[in-house]
Amino acid sequence: MKTSRLALVPAIAIIALGLVACSTSYSGGGPLKIAVSSPPPTKKAEVLSGTLVVDAAASLTETFQKLGDEFHAKNPGVTVTFNFGGSSGLAAQIVSGAPVDVFASASPATMKTVTDAAATSADPVIFVKNRLEIAVPADNPGHITGLKDFTDPAKKIALCAPEVPCGAAAVTVFKNAGLTAAPDTLEQDVKAALTKVQLGEVDAALVYRTDVKAAGDKVKGIPFPESSTAINDYLIAPLKASSNQKLAAAFVAWILSSNGQKVLSAAGFDLP
């Protein structure tokens, strides 16, 4: 819940830069074009306003921040607030009645929790896919080369807890590889696992490829072939709890737009 105010600063810059660009990007028939009955001829079809609360998987932090800023820049009347966290925890909050407009989950299972409770106002859509990668500190102190190093009790290993999607994916990967991991800690979400790598407290962690990319120079990623056996589908859906369905639908469309997909792909996500 830390985005909305901070988002204003870059947003102002983006508005200033994007005044000309705006007219062209809207004429392309983008998903943001919301039909209005009587717009003044000089104004674009743009009446979105209000506050939007988006619960999104922790692994979407950087991309959704960016896309949220852009969304706000294009719709200055809209304030987007993000709540990033483990998908399962977010799903539990939504089912318990949290006032959330859009949910983006990192796994079908967590989205199912929400659809089972009939809390979505439209069918969830797969918007990206993600795969696991080995994350090691930049100098790789544990000399990690592949998945088999995760079975060495002498190495400090962080995995996600099996209750959250990245942990469930890790379980699948180890099962398919026929290996028994020897983790030292089972972190509550993927960012917590990554932080332990960034601080050099563990020799390796299994996180999403996108997280490795987002962490920059401090973390080195090691792809491994078994990762293709556990590819996560990310789903997004507007929620019934939203008091502004039009806005919620517009944000979902924004994520599925070519620009949204471009930003997500650049961050290391596979497109569906």
Which residues have C-beta within 8 Å of that of residue 91, sequence separation ≥ 6? Answer: 103, 105, 110, 111, 113, 114
Among 27, 148, 163, 243, binds another protein (CB under 8 A): 163
Spatial contact of 145 and 222, defined as CB atoms under 8 Å apart = yes
In the complex with another protein, the residue whose CB is nearer, 186 or 253, is 186
Residue 196 near another protein by CB under 8 A: yes
Interface of this chain with another protein, residues 102 to 161, rule: CB under 8 A: 156, 158, 161
Spatial contact of 32 and 74, defined as CB atoms under 8 Å apart = yes
Residue 46 near another protein by CB under 8 A: no
Q: C-beta of 221: minimal distance to another protein in Å? A: 20
In the complex with another protein, the residue whose CB is nearer, 192 or 239, is 192
Among 92, 122, 125, 253, binds another protein (CB under 8 A): 92
Q: How far apart are CA 31 and CA 17, in angstroms?
A: 22
- Write the CA distances from 188 to 161, 166, 180, 192, 213, integer angstroms: 6, 10, 20, 7, 20
Residue 197-216 contact track with another protein, rule CB under 8 A, x = bound: --xxx---------------
Is residue 68 classed as helix, strand or coil in its secondary structure? helix
Residue 86 near another protein by CB under 8 A: yes
Which amino acid, residue 110? T
Q: Which stretch binds another protein (CB under 8 A): 15-23, 68-76, 185-193, 257-265?
A: 185-193
Q: Which residues bind another protein (CB under 8 A)?
A: 86, 88-89, 92, 156, 158, 161, 163-164, 183-188, 192, 196, 199-201
